Structure formats: structure tokens, C-alpha cells
Structure 1
Amino acid sequence: MHRSPLSLVLSGIAGLVIIMFLAHFVAPTDLGESHPTIDQLKTSAVATPVASTSSAADGTVKTVPESRAEMQMSFSPLVKQTANAVVNVYAEKLVESRSPLADDPFLQQFFGQRMPNRSEKQSSLGSGVIVGADGIVVTNNHVIEGADDIKVALADGREFESKVVLKDDRLDLAVLKIEGSAPFQTIPLGDSDSVEVGDLVLAIGNPFGVGQTVTSGIVSALARNQVTPGSDFGFFIQTDAAINPGNSGGGLIDMKGELIGINTAIFSRGGGSNGVGFAIPANLVKVFIESAKGGTGSFVRPFIGASFEPVTSEVADALGLDRARGALVSSVIEGGPAEKAGIRPGEVVTAVNGIAVEHPDALGYRLTTVGIGKDARLSVANNGKVREVTLRLERAPETAPRDERLIEGRTPFAGAVVGNLSPRLADELHMSAASEGVVITAVNRGSPAARVGFAPKDIIIAVNGVPIDKTETLVKAAADDPAFWRVEIERDGQRIRQFFR
């Protein structure tokens, strides 16, 4: 159908009116936050001096952004600066499993309950960050725990054997040393105390073993506790940057290209990222690395000589606090650093060196980052008043000879290493400093002690009715070789009675 010239003219006029209407009334709306336009970002990038340049595949030159506004264009320059220092960590260990034939009645006629276990290799993967040009790598302890062989793969594809320099299960940190030619690219350690909620961050790691992956997000919260069971300090940086299995040990990077945390855990129902990830702060990582360089073989925590509890609303009201915060002193060990500093049960520690303490885990974190042999200034509240005390941070004392011994012979304890408890040994085993008696410090794999279920940190209370107060007493009791064993132990605060033939 042909349209008349008049209708075409009218259609054109109507279209022009519609365009003018849209241009006037449907302009971009300010929703309360000013966002720079692309042209503004380009102008800003040109006006600001750049640190370096790089060429894209099409030959165009990309400038490295030096402002937050410029960073909105791309994180790629920051990734190029840091990604090569994030490595993949592959750990392999030999694990024993019960033979499927162990319950076969015919074979039990010959082997009884002594059917040999079978061994198989088990592999795990994670991430790590190179923090020393000589090949020092920081990762999570759970990535390499129990590993017999550890390999580190660099971003460029090179692989190196590595050895464990220091590890600690309660901190969930480990330091590795790459056995290869130096120097290696590193990421500098930042100041995690300067991190604020809302800061932009990158998480770099090896999720699900697919290869190096970069995700972005912000710092969602600080000083998170109750994140990982058994953790020494509940003091994590929370981020919404995607962290998945395999990211453990990888780096949380700020916009200055500095390491502000080691990615460690996530809250997830399905195993993948839900935008709730946690990282160990860099300031704790620094102390751990220094301990590794000291060659002590174990991470030494400061001995406070006191026990602490969270502050409830009732306690806060009774002590004149504005709210429930701080660490309530529940007990003080005689002659310990806390008693020497004048700290008494019932008082509340509210700050360390002027930094507020919200809960007991935060107190432990703050004191650990101060370091052994140094003084910490504590703010202590009681009856509505706050006073300052000086706490000298010491290593836990060895009040009794350790006298570690390997138990041998025809006894259910055979293959167990035992020692006399002291605050220092208790600290090494991550036990209460007030623990006393004879404790199992290690159990040899496949030994009688392992088969009957003894484990490190078990305190041996009595054997066949004989109280065990020192290792010598246990050795004598084990040498009697009775036909029947009646053993009483303490495990995680619970008394357990066991019977063996």
C-alpha cells in the first residue's frame, strides 16, 4: 500500500517530537551517588601521571591507573603487578584405610583383628603467595597438613618442590620454601590495621583447580570471630570477593597491590562462594613469617597467665561499661605476666595499645601481633573506671621437666610419646596453660596406641588404678604387662575410661 506525501510528512514530524521528548525527559538520573562518565575517566587518566604503560594486542597503549576513579576502568594493571606472585600448591600424602577384607570371617581365622591396612595416595590443592624473593611462600596449614610431598606451580607454568619451614594448625598458616633458583616475584605485605570496610579488594587463587583466577569485591567486615572451629584467634577480614575451594592460601590484595590477608574460609551451604569469605589479616601473617625466619620450628604465642571470657550485657552493666565489649578476666595464674601487671579476676580488658578489643579472640590477636619480649599497654575497666597497665609478653615457662618418652613393649600405649605438662608444653599442644599431668604428645602411625584410639593431647589420669603424675610412673605401670588394662584419660575436658586385653 502506498502512503500519501502528506502522511509521510506528518509521520516525520511526529517522530521528531517523540525524539525531542525523550531527550528532555528521559535523561540519566542521579540516584544519590555521582559516577564519572567514560569521557571523565579518560580525561582523568590522561591528566594523572602514570607509573608505567603496557600495549594491548591491538597495539593501543594502556595506562596503569593511579586513582580509584581510574581503577573503575580495569583491574588488569593491578593483576599484572601481583598475579605472578600467587602460586598453586599441590600436596600429596599417604593415608591408611581399613581393608575391605578385614571383616571376612575366613580371613579373620588367620589374621584375627590384625588385618593389615592398605595405603593410598591422597592429593589436595590450594594456593599460596610468594612474600620473599628467596622463595618464601605463605599458605594455609590445611592445604599442606600431613603432606609427604608438596609442589608449587608458578603462574608461568614452572613447578618446584617445596619444604615446610613452619606450620601451625590453630592459626591455619604455613610457610613454605621453594627449592628453586631465586629471585621470585613477590607481593609486599600491607598493614591490615589500615583496612576499612568498603575498601576494594582482589582475591587471587586457584579455585577448584581450574587455574589462577582473579575475583573482585570489597571488605565487608573486620574482626570477624567464630569463623573456623579450633582457630586460635577469631579475627578475620570478611570480603564478598568470590572465594571457592582451592582459593585457600591465596592472596587478598588491596588497591595498592599489597597483601592484606590470606584467604582461608567461606560460609557456604553448597561448597561454592556465597559472597561471604574470610582472610587472615596480614599483620598476623607478618609475625608468623618472622617466627619462621627465626628457625624455632614452632610458633610461640605470648603467655598471658590468665583466662578470659566474653563480656555479657549483665557484666557490662555491673562494671559500668557502655556496652558488652572486651575480654573478661575469669582467672589469673599465680606468678604469671597478668598477675605481675596487676590484672585481677573480674576486670575487663577493653583495649591494647589504644586499639579497642571487642572480644577475647581479638585480645589474643592483638597481643600476638605485638610479639614476645615486648610490652603491651592494656586498658582495664572495673567499677566504671578505666586504668592503664603494662603487660610484658613472655614465652610460656617450663615449670616441670618435660621428660618426653616413647612407650614401648606389650602395652596399649606402645608407639605413643608422652611428656610432663607445663605451661610451655601446653602452649605447644594448644591446651590450657593450667593443664597438669602426663600428656600424649604424639602417636606413631600404625602403632598399638594408634589402633586403640589414643591421640595427642590425651591426658593420662590413671592406669589399673595407679594415678599417673609423671612419665616415670607411666613407664613403670606399662612395664607390669598385666593381662587386663584399665585406663582413664582426659580428652577435651571429659573423663574417659577404657578397657583393653
Structure 2
Amino acid sequence: MKQTIRLFLVALVAGAVTLGGYKLIENKEVLSFIPQENSSFIPINYSSNGAEMNTDFTDAAEKTVHAVVHVKNITVSRQPTNMMEYFQGGGQPKAMVGSGSGVIISPDGYIVTNNHVIANASNLEVTLNNNKTYTAKVIGTDPNTDIALVKIDGDDDFPFIPFGDSNAVKIGEWVLAVGNPFNLTSTVTAGIISAKARDLNQFDGNPQSFIQTDAAVNRGNSGGALVNTRGELIGINTAITSETGSYVGYSFAVPSNNARKVIEDIMEYGNVQRGILGIQVGNINPQIVEKYGIKDTQGVFVGGIEKGSGADKAGLKEGDIIKQLDGYKVSKFADLSGYLGSKRPNDVVEVTVLRNGNERKIPVKLIKLETFSIDDLGLEVKNTPPEELKARGLNNGVTVTRALTPEVAQYKLEGIIITRINDEIVNDIDDVKVIMTQRDYRTPIKMTFMDNAGNINSFIFR
């Protein structure tokens, strides 16, 4: 009997020691080793338990799918049936139908979509997820951002999607694209934020700042919603890059902060109010690095200051590198243009610049960008501040901001000041509008201007 008890106690103690040792090893989640001299090692973390992803998209889909609509654009054009109609105009009317998506943003039926979805529409039809169809009217458009605002009227409140903060989205964050690709209504796809502030128009002088995602977007998705997992609108799906015209892994959305600002401007002012700092932007290249002793490779280089602008009055200087706007990180020009796209004239923006190796925070009041597109010349112009005219020895003129076509872009006319068109004095963009409206379209256009070297030249556009 005593022998049996003794064996039982030995077994009990051995079991306790074994269990204690196992627990001691089990609790050691990370094993670290001190390398010996002249040896190398790779740190390894065994603490992961291999937990599965537990992301549920059903709530966000349910919140948003009923507020994304199908937009049908009916355009009527005349097709010439003989040579006389071809040269003199006329012909048989022919209806063409295009389609896209839109997002209801208020219970009273305001809908945001892409400008290219509703462009040149003779009639707009909007179909909801419940198959009810409404006739929509265009409230306003902004081709520069490809955003348009339309409205439908009904007896009851419409489902809508609230705006989220697109500046707060993070790379790698899950998103849903909701739209009507290929006329398939109420389609939801999932993906992640692949990049922010992506500029697809960096070569045409009209910088954009898109959210890039790998959520599947195809024809018909244009104008649809990009939402986060809380069902908040963070973007308007606008474009894809593809050699075939169909989705291949990249799609792009106008950030919701920019879209919201555009439609609020349209509702309040009837047009878009654009606020700018008043700077000329330069690329950080080896020549700039050598001239200014720059060590940073990220940020926006200030290549010049517009006289009388907010940047000029606030004390920004040529050679500054803009690193932040209101604490928002600026790594490239698309970051800057995207953030300013959500601001208005007279807004004050805190600009963090790097100057002589030191950071400074400078509040800058944005000025209004007033431009006019001279389509016949392929140029966009803006009013020139009096200080700039005086500095260049001129009494009048408008400044070219960008070329509108690749053919004109090759001449590098940005920054020149147009003083006369067809020998008529140009004081501001209103003068340009009048001259271009009243001119004889059968005659060439003569443009007199001062180039960036201070020389007076004339171009004849035929």
C-alpha cells in the first residue's frame, strides 16, 4: 500500500513539472537570439495566431446600394443624308443612348455623377434600385473635375449616402464600388485603396488628384459610389486605365471632399469657386537641388510667386518646399492640387514649408482663380494681378495658365501675357469673351503677347 502511494506521488510531481514546463514554453511568444560577433541573423516573430480576416461588407452594401442610380443619357444629333446637308448642316435627327451611374446625396433627390455621363443630354432618365424611373434635370457641371449635379423630384424622401472624409482614407483600407456596369443594376464590388492623389492628367496641364482602387469598375460604373466599410461616400468612380476599355485592376475616383465642394459651389454660386495659393510650381530635379542645396526629395518646390497673391502677401518665397497643408502631408503636386481642390477663395490654409533646412508654418489666404478657355486658340487664360503687370512693364493683359491641346502645348506658352487679340486691347477675361464672341469665324486670329523673356510677339492662328 505504501509503495502504491509513493508511486502515485512521484507520478503527480512529474506531471506537474511537465505541465509547468509546457506552459512556460507556450507563453514565450517571441524568441530572441543575441547574435555572436561577426554573425548575422533574421528576426522572426512567431506570435501570430493566423487569425482569419473578419471584414463584413454586408452592412455597407445594404446602406448604399439603394442610393446608387442608373443614369440614361439620350442625345439627339443630325446625320447628313447628302452633300448639301454635310456642308450646310441639317439632316435626319438620330437619338443616341449612353448610360452611367449616379449617387443620391440628399433625401430631396440631388444626385452627383460624372460630367461625361450627362454631357450633351437632350433627355436624362434616372432609374432607382426599386425600378422606379424619373426624369432628371441638370443643375450644373464642372468639366475640370468631371463632376455634375442633377436632380429628380418625388413624393417621398429618397435613400441617400452621406459624405465621408476622403482625406482620412488610408492606403490598404477596404472599399466598395457601387454602380451599374454594362447596364447591370445594383452591382457591388470590393477592393482596397491602392494609392491616393494619383494624377492621370499630368501632361495636359489640368492636374487631378484621384483615389486609386482595385475594386472592379467597368463601363457604366462612371458616376457611381466609392464607399468605405461604414457606408460613407469617399469618392465618385470616374475612370479606368485599360488597353481594352474594360477593367484590368486599376480604377480611379474623384475624392468626396472635392466632389462635395464642387456641388456646393454649383448650388450656392452657380459655378465652381477655385482658390489658389498664387505660386508657380517647379519639379525637384538635379539642377534645382544644386542651386538651392535641397536635400529633401518629397514636397512641392516653389518656383515663383505671383505678385499680389496670398502667397506673396504671406511671405512665401521662391525656393521654399511645401511639406504640409493644414497638417496634411504634401509629397507631390497632386497632393497639393487635390487638397486645394476642396478649398475656396479667402480660405486660410496653414502652409508648412522647408526653408534653409528649417520648417516654418505660414498662414496663406487663398485667392480666386478666374479663368476662361479660348477654345479657338487652345489656351486657358486668367486675369493678371496689377502688381504682375507693373512688374513686367505692362498696362493690360491676361495670363496664359495652360494649353488645352497637345498641339498648342508644344509651344510652352504658359505664363505669357496676352495684351491684344485681333489688335483689340485685352484688359481681363471679360474682354476676351467679348472679342471671341463677336469675331468673324472665317478670319484668322491674331494674338499679341509678351513672352516670359519680356519680348513682344504675335501669333496668327488660322
Find the aligned partners of 1:33 and 1:248 in 2 and give their Cα distance: 41
- 1:64 — aligned with what? none
- Output aligned runs, 1:44-443, within 5 Å: 69=54, 71=56, 75-97=57-79, 99=80, 101-102=82-83, 113-114=87-88, 116=90, 119-226=93-200, 232-294=206-268, 296-316=269-289, 318-396=291-369, 422=383, 436=397
Task: Look up the match of 2:460.
Answer: 497
Letter matched to residue 65 of structure 2: A
CA 119–438 in structure 1, closer or farther in 2 if over 3 Å, else same: farther
Task: Give the Cα–Cα distance (whole angstroms) in 1 for the partners of residues 294 and 173 of structure 2.
Answer: 31
TM, length-normalised to structure 1: 0.66
Local SS of the residue matching 1:82:
helix
AA of the residue aligned to 1:89: V
Cα distance in 2, alignment partners of residues 148 and 479 from structure 1: 27
**Residue deviations 1:127-150 (CA, integer Å, cap 9, x gap):** 111111111111111111222221
Provide the rounded CA distance (Å) in 1 between the counterparts of 2:288 and 2:187: 47
User: Residue 145 and residue 284 in structure 1: after superposition, are their counterparts in 2 closer, same or farther (change >3 A)?
Assistant: same
* CA root-mean-square deviation: 4.0
Residue equivalent to 2:445: 487
Higher RCO, 1 vs 2 (CA within 8 Å, ≥6 residues apart): 2
Query: Does structure 2 retain, via aligned residues, the 8 Å contact 1:397–1:423?
Result: no
Report how far residue 290 of structure 1 moved.
2.2
Query: TM-score normalised to the size of structure 2?
Result: 0.71
8 A Cα contact 1:310 1:325, kept in partner: no
- Could you tell me which amino acid in structure 1 is paired with residue 362 of structure 2? V
Following superposition, the deviation at residue 357 of structure 1 comes to: 1.1
1:397-426 CA-to-partner distances (Å, cap 9, x unmatched) read 79xxx9xxxxxxxxxx9xx9xx996259xx
Query: 1:240-299, CA deviations, whole angstroms, 9 ceiling, x for partnerless residues?
Result: 1100011011111111111111111111111111111111111212222322331x1111
Distance verdict in 2 for CA 1:125–1:292, change over 3 Å? same
Q: Secondary structure of 2:54's match?
A: helix
AA at the equivalent of 2:60: L
Matched to 2:118, the amino acid is: I
**For the structure 1 residues 309 and 474, does the alpha-carbon distance in structure 2 shift closer, same or farther, using more than 3 Å as the test?**
closer
Contact 2:81/2:91, CA 8 A, preserved across alignment: no
Q: Distance in 2 between matches of 1:474 and 1:340?
A: 30
* Aligned-pair identity (%): 30
Contact 2:60-2:228 at 8 Å conserved across structures: no
Q: Any idea what the Cα deviations from partners look like across 1:78-98, whole Å, max 9, x if unmatched?
A: 32221000111111223355x
Give 1:237 deviation, angstroms: 1.2
Unaligned 5+ segments in structure 1 are 1-29, 38-67, 403-412, 425-434, 440-458
* 1:170–1:154 CA distance, 2 compared to 1 (3 A): same
Runs of 4+ in 1 over 6 A off after TM superposition: 30-33, 470-482
Paired AA for residue 349 in structure 2: A
Contact residue 136 and residue 175 of structure 1 kept, 8 A: yes
> SS of the counterpart of 1:289?
helix
CA contact (8 A) 1:252 1:259 kept: yes
| Aligned residue in 2 for 1:469 | 426
Aligned residues: 378
Question: What displacement does 1:122 show?
Answer: 2.5
Report the Cα distance in structure 1 between the residues aligned to 2:171 and 2:318, rounded to whole angstroms.
34
Shift of 1:233: 4.0
Change (3 A) 1:327 1:308: same
Q: Which amino acid aligns with 1:93?
A: T
Q: Distance in 2 between matches of 1:85 and 1:478?
A: 42
